Amino acid sequence: MNKISKGLSRRTVLSGAAAVGLAGVARAQAPAEIKVGLIVPLSGIYTRPGQVMKMGAEMGIEHINAQGGIKALGGAKLKLVVIDCGDTTEKAKNAAQRMVAQEPDLVAATGAYLSSFTLAVTEVTERAELPVLTLSYSDLLTDRGFKYIFQTAATASRQSELGLPTLMKLAENASGKKPKTVAMLMDNTATSVATAKALKEKLFAQEGLQLVVEEVWTPPLSDATPLIQKVRSAKPDLLLFMPNAVSDAKLGLEKISEFGLGQGKIPTVSFSITIAEPDMLQSVSPETVQGIMTIVANWGSKGHEALIAELKAKYKEPWMTQNVISTYGDMWLMKEALEKAGKADRNAVAQAFRTMDAGPSKYYPGGQLKFDEKGRRVGAGVVIVQWQSGVPVTVYPPELAQAQPFWPKKS
């Protein structure tokens, strides 16, 4: 690969020289295209989030190009290259290899939804020196000493660190007292395990919460009855329900409702976007999910109204999940880096990401458009979303909130 990449860089040097020589001509002609990649699952069980991410990317590219493309490159237009990363780690790795081999002129990419896939994809892109933006949470992604990965979302452990205290404050403000006991039902996927670890090792004690029920299942969940029975008999002040598959979420919520714990009898909180996906409404009624909250890394919020309306009109998506808004934002982040780099070269773009300091972020909650030495976005925050009358709306932080949160009253 050394040889190949040397060859490549020689070629890019040559083409760079040619570009300088032909600069005058180029300006007169139609601006060149700059390819950016989207590597997401478009087949298998994670198809749906992949499709939604594609919508976000397409909208982003459209808006950027409509507003004049990359100005530093003579108004060059962005072109999206979509690659299906399938539904297994192996397929993701193969797809990444295909991406770097078949599309040598990509300058950056974003993906790959599930953090296992992102792990595999970035193992390849790191070696090919292709910068990758990701909305995956796993701490491991940016703990490997990689130089070409940039995590826009707060990591899983950071999310629980940020989310739980906020949630407690919310509860105190709304209901007048702090929750004291908590039940935790979770699947054993990497994200849930990382979140639970942070909660159990530090946060519960810090917030004075007592863990009274802890149950773990392996997806798919076949029967939620024993889990919910335990919750009912323990009567906790707070239930953390952490599924990562819509079917698991549905089973659990239906059982909660069936046992008469729904509608806020026990305030229920999740840590993933699964529970706020539009798919949920296909299997459960708005009453079942009313009041349920989830702590997520990003969500369509105040200030995104025009985008949300466009998404609704164009793709018939009822609201904007993290997958759409983050991927949309990634396109703008790539544009920012290209403007800064001043050339369509992946290493220059990567360097631009590393040294970028573009002020407050518009499409990610909290913090700056700036990455630390690990590749994590500085000050990345979380959003709390609550189901209100059949729509999950942003209720925290206040500057992004679309509605006031309500804390379900224990009856």
Site string for other proteins, 128-147 (x = CB under 8 A): x---------x-x---xxx-
By CB neighbour count within 10 A (0-12 exposed, 13-18 middle, 19+ buried), where does 254 fall? middle
The candidate with the shortest Cα–Cα distance to 59, out of 333, 321, 315, is 315
Hey, which residues between 46 and 65 contact other proteins (CB under 8 A)? 47
Residue 82 or residue 234: which is nearer to other proteins going by CB? Answer: 82
CB distance 43 to 84 below 8 Å: yes
The candidate with the shortest Cα–Cα distance to 141, out of 163, 110, 120, 162, is 120
Residue 114: how many CB atoms within 10 A of its CB?
A: 25
Residue 339: how many CB atoms within 10 A of its CB?
A: 14
Residue 263: how many CB atoms within 10 A of its CB?
A: 18
- Which of 8, 19, 72, 82 binds other proteins (CB under 8 A)? It is 82
Work out whether 120 is an interface residue with other proteins (CB under 8 A). Answer: yes
- Which of 12, 110, 116, 257 binds other proteins (CB under 8 A)? It is 116
Residue 95 or residue 133: which is nearer to other proteins going by CB? Answer: 95
Work out whether 218 is an interface residue with other proteins (CB under 8 A). Answer: yes
CB distance 366 to 381 below 8 Å: yes
Tokens 């601006």 belong to: 31
For the CB of residue 248, give the shortest distance to other proteins in the complex, in Å: 15
132-134 vs 106-111, strand pairing mode: parallel
Work out whether 373 is an interface residue with other proteins (CB under 8 A). Answer: no
Query: What distance in Å separates the CA atoms of residue 211 and residue 200, rounded to the nearest whole number?
Result: 8
List of residues 6+ apart from 411 with CB closer than 8 A:
265
Work out whether 188 is an interface residue with other proteins (CB under 8 A). Answer: yes
The piece of 88-96, 164-172, 254-262, 386-394 that touches other proteins (CB under 8 A) is: 88-96
The candidate with the shortest Cα–Cα distance to 113, out of 198, 54, 36, 187, is 54
Query: What distance in Å separates the CA atoms of residue 378 and residue 84, rounded to the nearest whole number?
Result: 30
Residue 100 or residue 292: which is nearer to other proteins going by CB? Answer: 100
Hey, which residues between 2 and 31 contact other proteins (CB under 8 A)? 2-4
The piece of 26-34, 122-130, 176-184, 243-251 that touches other proteins (CB under 8 A) is: 122-130
Residue 210's DSSP bridge partners are 181
- Which of 35, 91, 302, 340 binds other proteins (CB under 8 A)? It is 91
- Which of 1, 14, 22, 378 binds other proteins (CB under 8 A)? It is 1
The piece of 98-106, 223-231, 313-321, 359-367 that touches other proteins (CB under 8 A) is: 98-106
For the CB of residue 275, give the shortest distance to other proteins in the complex, in Å: 21
For the CB of residue 186, give the shortest distance to other proteins in the complex, in Å: 12
The candidate with the shortest Cα–Cα distance to 293, out of 213, 158, 392, is 392
Q: Which amino acid is at 373?
A: E
Number of residues that bind other proteins (CB under 8 A): 43
Binding site for other proteins (CB under 8 A): 1-4, 42-44, 47, 82-84, 86, 88-91, 93-95, 97-98, 100-102, 115-116, 119-120, 123-124, 126-128, 138, 140, 144-146, 188-190, 193, 218
